[in-house]
A = this chain, B = another copy of it.
């Protein structure tokens, strides 16, 4: 079988497929002048090798499988998915290794398939990242249940004194309603800090990734743990989808009041070409253009809108507020090639990065991505 790259199959359930992706970004931020925090005036134009991953996946005799994705785009290497899997029947899968906790719709959608270049700012702020853990998933046509126990990220796990752990669970129902799929679900996340790690920090870039400046930021909070609740709802029908998520993150601060931060988004999209939104396993999947450029067509084109908010101020923590209204045009010439053009208008209040001393201002962002994967 060919899936961007060859999937080579052996007898008895063995298979092997190389994996890789390249995402190249450019963003032009037009912010106010006089930004604190070392940024250039207006931030300006920044380019980035957003992701370069190389890896492999395969299956083995006995319903065993693996996936190993290595991120090599920066100066240091890091592991994305690095898991051993076991299919315990048609509906149940067990996953051991470095993997995403089951935070919600956009977090569980692969970064190759998202409607905008980046997930909404709450995803970055509430520290969506892979952790080493043992997890299981049940999925049938209507129901998806996912859960696991996790220790830490691989970047901190080598520190003997880092002893945090967390539990994560997610439930989604996906019944057919009104000619489409209704997606209703929620997730819960409970994490205890331990050992030497007794701080938490929540912050987010404005809209896209090339800048490292975070306008809103709680700073390091003395913390012994956190609890997150999330609700997600959507409706996907052929060329159209709408989805919304909201998350509440409560930070436990010993001897101080516990702030609850909130963030979320409302997003909607439409295929301008005669193509279908891909939805499976309670997340978006790969859109396969009906008439790709290899068939003399123009490929698939999708137009998406999003409003997102993030509120990092509560119980004496003054991290600021950020909202973005965004527009995303996605062109998929073939199933494994994508170009994004994104526009976002972001406004912040009580931001920690000020413009001439004022924490309330707005900025506009134009961004583009070229993406290939195999």
Contacts and interface: CB of A to CB of B under 8 A. Distances in A.
Interface in A20-58: 20, 22, 24, 38-40, 44-49, 52, 54-56, 58
Nearest to A212: B160
Interface stretch (A2-10, A240-248, A251-259): A2-10
Contacts of A79: 49, 52, 72-73
Interface string A71-84: 01111111100111
Contact of A61 (B48, B77, B334, B370): B334
A76 B76 contact: yes
A61 B292 contact: yes
A152 interface: yes
Contacts of A56: 5, 18, 20, 54, 374
Contacts of A22: 66, 68, 82-84, 97
B6 A62 contact: no
Given A294-B62, A333-B62, A374-B58, A155 B6 contact: no
A12 interface: yes
Determine how many copies of this chain the complex contains.
3
A370 B84 contact: yes
A343 B52 CA distance: 39
A12 B56 CA distance: 23
Contacts of A374: 16, 56, 58, 60, 66
A177 interface: no
Contacts of A132: 24, 47-49
Contacts of A72: 70, 77, 79
Given A52-B79, A54-B56, 16 more contacts: A5-B56, A16-B18, A18-B18, A18-B56, A20-B56, A20-B68, A24-B97, A45-B163, A49-B132, A60-B336, A62-B292, A62-B337, A66-B372, A75-B76, A76-B76, A160-B213
Complex A-B, nearest 7 residue pairs according to Cβ-Cβ distance, in ascending order:
A61-B294, A2-B10, A62-B293, A62-B294, A47-B151, A77-B77, A5-B16
29 contacts: A5-B16, A13-B294, A18-B18, A20-B66, A22-B68, A22-B83, A22-B97, A38-B161, A40-B161, A47-B151, A47-B152, A52-B68, A52-B70, A52-B82, A54-B54, A60-B334, A60-B374, A62-B334, A62-B337, A64-B372, A74-B77, A75-B76, A75-B78, A75-B154, A76-B76, A84-B337, A84-B372, A96-B370, A160-B211
